[in-house]
A = this chain, B = another copy of it.
Amino acid sequence: MRSGHAPRGVSADDLTTRARIRDAAVLRFGRDGFGTPLRAIATDAAVSAGLVIHHFGTKERLREACDEHVLDQIRHAKQDNLGEASGGRFLEYLATAEQFAPVFAYVLRSLQHGGPLAATFVDHMVRDAVDYLAEGVAAGVIVPSRDEPARARYLVLSSLGAGLLAMTVDPPRDPTDLAAMMRRHVDAITLPALELYTEGFLTTRRMLDEYLLYVSDPPPAGEHAP
Contacts and interface: CB of A to CB of B under 8 A. Distances in A.
A171 interface: yes
B189 A208 contact: no
Contacts of A199: 143, 200, 208
Interface size class of A (residues with CB under 8 A): 35 or more
A145 B195 contact: yes
Contact of A170 (B119, B140, B192): B119
A162 B169 contact: no
A211 B190 contact: yes
Interface of A: 35, 111-114, 118-119, 122, 133, 140-143, 145-147, 150-151, 153-155, 157-166, 168-171, 183-184, 188-205, 207-208, 211, 215, 223-224
The 5 closest A-B pairs by CB, nearest first: A161-B161, A161-B165, A151-B192, A154-B192, A157-B162
